A and B are shown apart, each in its own frame.
Chain A
Amino acid sequence: MSTSARRRLLRDFKRLQNDPPSGVTGAPMDTNIMVWQAVIFGPDDTPWEGGTFKLTLEFTEDYPNKAPSVRFLTKMFHPNIYADGQICLDILQNQWSPIYDISAILTSIQSLLCDPNPASPANSEASRLFNENRREYNRRVREIVEQSWVDE
């Protein structure tokens, strides 16, 4: 069935293939274009370097007028990422705009990795370590990076 959401997602997919942003990749499920799997690579020269973080994105028929629900499948350690993988990111909530596409969403999440927003903590321990003990925080992040290689 071709709805405006599906049509838009096809355009997003084409754009992602023709003009791939660096460090992120994604594709819809074979059977359902409304559900996508994506991978964000940890940015070089940061504690996240080398990590491969899997996510799932679920779109509704209201896309692009409503943001998709995005969740990390890989275990994360980040001030703005909940234990269940939900992401606290303004553009996925009240700052959403229908001009965003999947490339924009994934690159925004990638930049959130190294640039946490201390105002909206979702993981209090990560938040506290980020503010008070950056060395320990970085160590925990590198642990997560190593775990990301063996995660199912």
Chain B
Amino acid sequence: MSRKRSSDTPIIDASTSDSFDLSASALHTPTESQLKNRPKLRVRIKKFHGVAHWTWNCGDDDDDVCGICQSAYEGVAPGAKYPGDECPVVVGKCRHYFHLQCITTWISTRNSPTCPMCRQEWDLGVETSRDDGNN
């Protein structure tokens, strides 16, 4: 069995060592001269395509449409042109979520504002925050 050895390469010899040292430092930490002599990787990025994903933070993912317009919370409600900040999702004190435009139109047809879901008095909570990426 022949094995080329260079003095600066960390060696693990299974036959002579009783206890393996498989820690990252023993296996992967390059020595100084390795760092100096390593081939240089040259990459020029000509173009990249970034993709981002966002959702509203509005509870269950199961039922992810606004009950009034039946389109996704992340979609566009009637009256809004673009999704996102222009078409926010709001939550009532009763914890039911709707597009701001949808619930506003509904309430404007009522003498006393009620939640379409539970018929309790609709009391505007806060706008939900947007969850970028991680969810």
Contacts and interface: CB of A to CB of B under 8 A. Distances in A.
Interface of A: 3-4, 7-8, 11-12, 15, 62, 64-66, 97-99, 101
A64 B109 contact: no
A8 B102 CA distance: 12
B119 interface: yes
B106 interface: yes
A65 B117 CA distance: 13
A1 B116 CA distance: 27
B109 A66 contact: yes
Contacts of B71: 7, 11
Nearest to B102: A98
Nearest to B119: A97
18 contacts: A4-B69, A8-B69, A8-B78, A11-B69, A11-B71, A12-B70, A65-B68, A66-B109, A97-B117, A98-B67, A98-B68, A98-B102, A98-B106, A98-B116, A99-B67, A99-B68, A99-B116, A99-B117
A2 B82 CA distance: 16
B34 interface: no
B133 interface: no
Contact of B70 (A15, A65, A97): A15
Given A12-B70, A65-B106, A66-B109, A97 B116 contact: yes
Contacts of B119: 97
A41 to B, nearest CB: 25
Given A97-B116, A97-B119, A8 B105 contact: no
B39 interface: no
Interface in B68-83: 68-71, 78-79
A79 B110 CA distance: 29
A104 B103 CA distance: 20
Nearest to B110: A65
A4 B70 contact: no
A108 B69 CA distance: 20
A11 B66 CA distance: 12
Nearest to B79: A4
Contacts of A7: 69, 71, 78
A97 B122 CA distance: 13
A65 B109 CA distance: 7
* Residue among A7, A8, A98 having the largest count of chain B Cβ atoms under 10 Å: A98
A65 to B, nearest CB: 5
A66 to B, nearest CB: 7
A103 to B, nearest CB: 11
A52 B78 CA distance: 36
B75 to A, nearest CB: 11
